[in-house]
Structure 1
């Protein structure tokens, strides 16, 4: 089958903060040199921002560099942080702790990252960047020398068996002198590139967390505009890394969420249910009384830090943003470093200079390297981790002569026989909700008659190993009800995949104990359609 093709100087995969910053900076450089930019930016979401989910407290450092007049241009940064709180929760009480310096947010803003990306897309288009939302990059293209020469978008209109339907349209080849991968955390093409070019040979395994978030409209008398609260402790046990966030912003809006490290050990742990019961804590529940939940979503996030960043360049392209893993875990921020990496990549591509060298000489290294040991130290437990973080921050000042290592998250899961099932309270429909009610708030949609985008390397493994040894953890770690163990006609267990529920969090690809699940991009435009997450 012959596929149409289009040629560009640069093709960027992913219209998140990194991809958009890269496109804008490259277009600015073209404009300064009186050149016409030939940049294509692909986005698998139905529109820019549709798949963007973040807390988000935003550090505007990179934005100040990229678009110094962003305030005059109407960037959607309206709620400046006025107060920071750091709490430890017991099952019934909240105790104020000193706020770590990394969590001081003076000069930062509580925002919707999705709205910011939509605004950045308009800035990019005004500079001549071509943006194509609703097109998922599905295949890497190589020349005879093995160099990346672009990507192909997904075919549209294939049925579940992969056969063309009446509305079939073949994907398009987008060819480029250089291809930039800005897919975000655990990007499917990025994973292929890391494997093909052995990009992780000199780095630690990347590690992850799952972040689950809701946006509520709360009563005005309970709203404290600009207040940022983070908690540790309950509902998680001392050996499970994680914590919550509560951000007061906008017109009586509250962003509330729970982040759980995917190196947890208990196969009965259910991140979604942990978040639902968290909202009933006596310190939290009063905020949500007589309030309205507007949005729900979930997303994996990088936690490996500086030591887990892979080689960033390969023949024909490079990695930027969370595709590479520029998250600062103690800060709970990554958009500023993602944007800066995109800007540095654009400069390197335009001037044909060394991207990795520029990055190591930039403030990204100063941001990430000193805190590299804090997240892995929490594998010793919550209080040991807090103690190490204090020593590393105040005494060693990030200059420890060692760097702590990682293991892949899926290796931590232990067999179910070592634990008792966790009995979670039933949702009340007011503060806590069942999974399908929440899923409706993500505006998720997939064309049902298409190939399943969640691939099992061995279809016998979910029952033979995952069910029998780990009690079917995929039914719990997925926050969207994609995986269900049901009885077949003979009363035997089988795994049912409800791919239409998928909100593209990538947790299954990360946490599956046998690494039997591979997440691939479905038809473009499918997935969640977040409005202001």
Structure 2
């Protein structure tokens, strides 16, 4: 085995290194080259191609794109399905009640927005970036930070060829150090580098803990007579009831394709809850089943969603870099939208970095970026809705609709939130209760027509990992799943993972915890929800993971 200290890596220097080829990272890259075509900008993407790891609802508010590329329609952006029909229902087991649109604040309206595949939007953004001279390297997982004291100087990307035990294999490639005057972290929700930076530099001190949801999504091709292009449906209530917060979305995209999604807030208490099976059960509601019957599911995926909003945004700039998009936690929960804020954050960071570089600076804090996020259009989007999520968590669905709606309406009219700023309280991991205090939940078996078992569905995420590499899901203490989580919490990793990565197997010597890392769709739920905070999600080899076609 080669001594780790003997590894030597070549390095490349850039003006700006961007980790992540999602909407925030690509927007930053484009804006940098718009300001100064001579800037050297690189985007590193761990997916096999741009868009391979992008999963979003998505009804797109184009405010970020309007600012970045005002003539995006003329440039051929894959954005054409305008919302024509906006519906909101509260479900019971056998029926539904429509909530009228008129009591909702204007910010909740989806009219003028577009139903899109964000994976395809990002593929198009990557073409715009490359046309401006941005270097984009897909299949390059950024696995380490290059630190210079407390400054983020760059990242290590493109390491391949370690053995399953972590030792260096015969075909080992050490990767490269990509160094930047500034490094933009745009990994998405709960990225491993963002997590390291936030913890090392205490960027969350003085801010609420980040909150999360688990979003699962299927694409269905339905019968043409049931398809209504531009229709948007959101639901709350059944099947979750009092077990968890969350809801669903059904978006009619194009070509008879419907995007069916289900979100479970990860602050649920009952460790017996099985989010994936709640999603599968939801599709048997009469309203949903009638839509999907006779159709076929063509794709599946899952990812965590940042839900903390305004209270949970950490310090966003640090010596040598910034946090963008979902790494910063910029999702508007009641609007179920974050892509516009991700793009706006990339634009703001690019403008701050270009200004600093033009002034001869490098490696310092881009305080202008923090100021823009906390006072500009992102703040105007997030501050008015900041109490909806904590009210829901503390008081439940109906009070959140009433109280949260009142708070949003007053803020919409006056710019002032009468309820102040509610706190989120515990982390989602700490919210998990003990198994003995909750009843087990009996879930119906999937029927193979409307509902499917996890492993069958994971095959529709087109996920693949090279099996000879180390497991990228690291246990801080390998004994905890069986010695602590199983007796205390009935080991909830068996259920909260939407890809069937974690199993408790019964053997001759008792129960054994197994990690099937090949199934991992990179949602990060395990890193968030494990009650012992014993699982650390790290990047596998570049190019591995899901290969989402149209998400």
- TM-score normalised over the length of structure 2: 0.94
Preserved CA contact (<8 Å) 2:95 2:286: yes
Preserved CA contact (<8 Å) 2:410 2:418: no
Structure 2 matches for 1:137-148, cutoff 5 A?
137-143=142-148, 145-148=149-152
Matched with 1:419 is 438
Q: CA deviation at 1:489?
A: 2.9
CA distance in 1: counterparts of 2:493 and 2:486, whole angstroms: 9
The count of aligned residue pairs is 527
Q: CA deviation at 1:290?
A: 1.1
CA distance in 1: counterparts of 2:467 and 2:274, whole angstroms: 27
Matched with 2:17 is 11
Q: CA deviation at 1:250?
A: 1.0
CA distance in 2: counterparts of 1:424 and 1:494, whole angstroms: 24
Structure 2 matches for 1:43-62, cutoff 5 A?
43-62=45-64
Preserved CA contact (<8 Å) 2:243 2:273: no
The Cα offsets for residues 412-455 of structure 1, whole Å up to 9 and x where unpaired, read as 11111112211111111111111111000000000001111101
Preserved CA contact (<8 Å) 1:3 1:171: yes
Matched with 1:435 is 454
Counterpart among 492, 503, 526 of residue 508 in structure 1: 526
CA distance in 2: counterparts of 1:258 and 1:525, whole angstroms: 27
> Structure 1's 146 and 391: CA in aligned 2 closer, same or farther, altered over 3 A?
closer
CA distance in 2: counterparts of 1:435 and 1:360, whole angstroms: 40
Q: Residue 466 of structure 1 aligns to a residue in which SS?
A: helix
Q: CA deviation at 1:62?
A: 0.9
Aligned: 1:394 with 2:409: yes
Structure 2 matches for 1:190-339, cutoff 5 A?
190-238=194-242, 240-339=244-343
CA distance in 2: counterparts of 1:84 and 1:510, whole angstroms: 32
CA distance in 2: counterparts of 1:395 and 1:445, whole angstroms: 49
Preserved CA contact (<8 Å) 1:37 1:128: no
Comparing 160-169 with 440-449, greater Cα deviation is found at 160-169
Matched with 2:511 is 493
CA distance in 1: counterparts of 2:350 and 2:523, whole angstroms: 28
CA distance in 1: counterparts of 2:405 and 2:355, whole angstroms: 42
Preserved CA contact (<8 Å) 2:407 2:419: no
Matched with 1:24 is 30
Matched with 2:154 is 150
In structure 1, the gaps of 5 or more residues are: none
Q: CA deviation at 1:103?
A: 2.8
CA distance in 2: counterparts of 1:417 and 1:194, whole angstroms: 35
Counterpart among 362, 365, 368 of residue 379 in structure 2: 365
Comparing 147-156 with 14-23, greater Cα deviation is found at 147-156
Matched with 2:543 is 525
> Structure 1's 28 and 500: CA in aligned 2 closer, same or farther, altered over 3 A?
same
The Cα offsets for residues 280-317 of structure 1, whole Å up to 9 and x where unpaired, read as 00111011111011100000000001110000111111
Structure 2 matches for 1:84-95, cutoff 5 A?
84-95=86-97
Counterpart among 37, 40, 59 of residue 38 in structure 1: 40
The alignment yields a C-alpha RMSD, in angstroms, of 1.1
CA distance in 2: counterparts of 1:313 and 1:223, whole angstroms: 45
Structure 2 matches for 1:439-518, cutoff 5 A?
439-490=458-509, 492-518=510-536
> Structure 1's 30 and 445: CA in aligned 2 closer, same or farther, altered over 3 A?
same
Q: CA deviation at 1:390?
A: 2.1
Matched with 1:382 is 397
Q: Residue 209 of structure 2 aligns to a residue in which SS?
A: coil
- TM-score normalised over the length of structure 1: 0.97
Comparing 247-256 with 166-175, greater Cα deviation is found at 166-175
> Structure 1's 61 and 103: CA in aligned 2 closer, same or farther, altered over 3 A?
same
Comparing 305-314 with 358-367, greater Cα deviation is found at 358-367
The Cα offsets for residues 353-389 of structure 1, whole Å up to 9 and x where unpaired, read as 6111122231111100111011110021111211212
In structure 2, the gaps of 5 or more residues are: 1-6, 357-365
